[in-house]
Chains A and B, each alone.
Chain A
Amino acid sequence: MSLSTRKIVISGILGAVAILLGVTRIGFIPVPNLSGNATIMHVPAILGGVMEGPVVGALTGTIFGIFSFLNATIPLFADPLVAVLPRIFIGVTAYLAYAATRRINLVLSLVLAATVGTLTNTFLVLGMGILRGYLPAEAFWPIVLTNGLAEVVIATIITVALVLGIERARKGGASAKAS
């Protein structure tokens, strides 16, 4: 496997955005449920997967994972198998969903990518948490239904707006930059 300079830089910088969303708390949206917060920290990984392919998606997710591991405030994330491993797949599954439906409709494919990417995060993190014994198996569906679904809605809104906005700005931005 070799990485182009482009992939290295975009993964790194999207990783920085994920970290930024975490440290500034911009990436947390208060929702009325047990955990109190839904996060959009995984959205850069989805963006990386959608805009630059699965490798960038995986690397961005890895950085997000390493960061949430290093800054773990709850014991669940002090275990690299829960904090890092599941995050690698966010960008990959988001890319697959996007690539499979891209030809049908752009907005649909972005909605699917955001949904699949977010659920990958929710399912795998909770699944690992249960496998490793930090959470009881009974907690799985309640958390998915409260936190997971709120995160899907939020991630979808953000991902669609961001990708469309960036695409539009890139097209219009070329002439603006030249002037």
Chain B
Amino acid sequence: MELSKDITLGQYVPRDSVIHRLDPRTKIVLWMVLITVLFFIHTYTGYLVFALFILWVTHLAEIPVLYALRGLKPAIPFIIVLFIIQLLFSGSLFADSPNVVFQWGFVRITTDAIRTYSLIMIRVVLLFLSVTILTLATSLVGLTDGMENLLSIGRRIGIPANELAMVMVIALRFVPTLVDELEKIMKAQMARGALIDEGNFIQRTKQKIPILIPLLMSTFRRAEDLIVAMEARCYRGGKGRTKRRQLRLTALDYRAIGITAGFLVFLMAFIRLVPPPW
């Protein structure tokens, strides 16, 4: 019963690569632009160009591609089953498509259906890879800082950026503490003869209760302590607060923005030049 050993929060891999050194704001914004663009690509070759770009970024971040894709492994059977289900049951959606590959009863597989769903599968994999690269190459602190900074643009319309970031920081800060707490509670309850993970799902659910109630009790107690501590130190959100780590855009960031913009222009032109179906 050692819970704390295999806890990975986020998936940050520390390196000293150009991608790691980028300002988190640059990474978040460029990443948002890229995944938005991903949804506007509808050709195999378009996805290929996008994939090459993402692989290049992965290479720059000094992260092995296989390592980045390892999270996809448990999902492969799921994706394949999904692909088959979609093909089998979507006949009605492609009723007027002439290119029937296979027909039996209500099952009607057309080349259009195959194309649509293979493109979705490719998009899912690319989306997954893009998300993974961002979280592998940006620390959670970096992500939070970046988000806070980006959100603060919306402060004028009443978005409490600092407060939202504080919620996130508190959540991340308390996970390890609560893991220790949970481990203690589970050991204590097991010592008293509590069963854990036995029986049917209703029984298993009931077995969680003697663990979760003490956990939440101590959680709320910690919360009350923290509230008092913060108020005693006059916490009042982000007003006039200074930071030790200042975010500053460097030449590297401008280069990244330039390169991404260049890539997007190229991608648009490429999609125009190589029309569907390829």
Contact = CB atoms under 8 A, between A and B. Distances in A.
Q: Which of B167, B209, B220 has the most CB of A within 10 A?
A: B167
Interface string A24-54: 1010011110000010100000010000000
A166 B172 contact: no
B171 A9 contact: no
B71 A73 contact: yes
Given A158-B212, A162-B209, A13 B226 contact: yes
Interface string B167-203: 1111111110011001000000000000000000110
Contact of B204 (A14, A30, A72, A136): A30
B171 A63 contact: yes
Q: Say what secondary structure dominates the interface of chain B.
A: helix
Contacts of B230: 5, 9
A78 B124 contact: yes
A134 B202 contact: no
A158 B223 contact: no
A6 B171 CA distance: 14
Given A12-B170, A59-B167, A166-B216, A70 B11 contact: yes
Interface residues of B, number: 66
A70 B10 contact: yes
A2 interface: yes
B249 interface: no
A1 B216 CA distance: 28
A13 B237 CA distance: 17
A139 interface: yes
A8 B11 contact: no
B90 A136 contact: yes
**Closest CB pairs A-B (n = 5):** A12-B170, A15-B171, A16-B174, A75-B124, A3-B163
Interface of B: 3, 7-11, 71-72, 74-75, 78-79, 82, 85-86, 89-90, 120, 124-125, 127-128, 131-132, 135, 158-160, 163-164, 166-175, 178-179, 182, 201-202, 204-206, 208-209, 211-213, 215-217, 219-220, 222-223, 226-227, 230-231, 235, 237
12 contacts: A1-B160, A12-B166, A12-B170, A13-B222, A13-B226, A19-B175, A38-B201, A70-B135, A71-B11, A79-B127, A134-B120, A162-B209
